[in-house]
Structure 1
Amino acid sequence: MFFKKKMAPKEVSLIEIVPKVTKSGYLFWDINDDLGMAAEAIMASTPLNKMAYGYARRAAMAALFIQGITSADHYAHASSIFKALQVQTDTSVEFQEHAARSSEVFMQTYTNQINSLFLKKVIAISLEYEIPDVRMTDADFFAAVVDTIYVEQSEARAG
């Protein structure tokens, strides 16, 4: 007699945990609020989901900061939670890369304009650039980030 091998349970992702309910008119506001409303379920989930949450929440708050929707203090708070989650979960490069990718896949369910290059640049802009004191629409924000990427890549090739 043969027995079937037990299959490992399918790991639930942020996409399955976080319901999309916020409709603010700002993409990253929606992402941030939806994550916030699902935070309890996420924190009861796997370390990977906790860290993916940290990546997504930090990126959303960086975007909201650049767009002039949230303050530097609120962004700093999200960054501190991100750092705490790194210490609480797994600091290995492999795990962090997997969590960052899971976060990116989750955010892509809101728009396919999000990718790892875009997210890295959003974080870099929030840390390295002077942020104007104006409120930006999503369209203006995406255009500004893509333009920054283009200019930096052009300068790197010319340099």
Structure 2
Amino acid sequence: MRPTPFLAPSPEAQTQACTTTEPDGLTLSLNTFEAIVIKFAAAMVCSAMAVLILAALAKLAVGLVKMVRAWGQPLQVAEEEQKEEQKEGRENTMAAGSVCAICLEEFGRQDAVRQLPECRHGYHAKCIDRWIVERGTCPTCRRWGRGTARLLSSGSGGKR
């Protein structure tokens, strides 16, 4: 017994099965209409995804540019800030016998101490330079610390 070949319906039968005739004489193929709706919906979903991806890429690019700019610049001594503090009469009140929050060693009289400008926390210069390059935040309060740190005079000890 031989298998019978599959017979496809004639093109006229396919057209009649998938079309409707409107009273004004217009013929609309349901397959064509569904295909148009599906293509339109797919285009809208793809457009929305593209917009979200582009927004995320733009945000990432801005963050990378900021990070690259800050990465190449070492912490600099902010002399203007020291002069402003002296003009305003503010003193650096560093508690004697305090310890560096990074290395947990006490500040010595000859240790170079840096103070972050935003939060005014003080650390050993070598400790905070390395910390800021690696992490970018204050070790104590987690504020963004890239930029300049003020070098305190020798003999000040402690952290504010």
Instruction: Flag whether TM exceeds 0.5 (same fold).
Output: no
Please tell me whether Structure 1 or Structure 2 has the larger radius of gyration of its CA atoms. 2
Compare the two structures and name the one with the higher strand fraction: 2
Q: TM-score, normalized by length of structure 2?
A: 0.21
Greater helix share, 1 or 2?
1
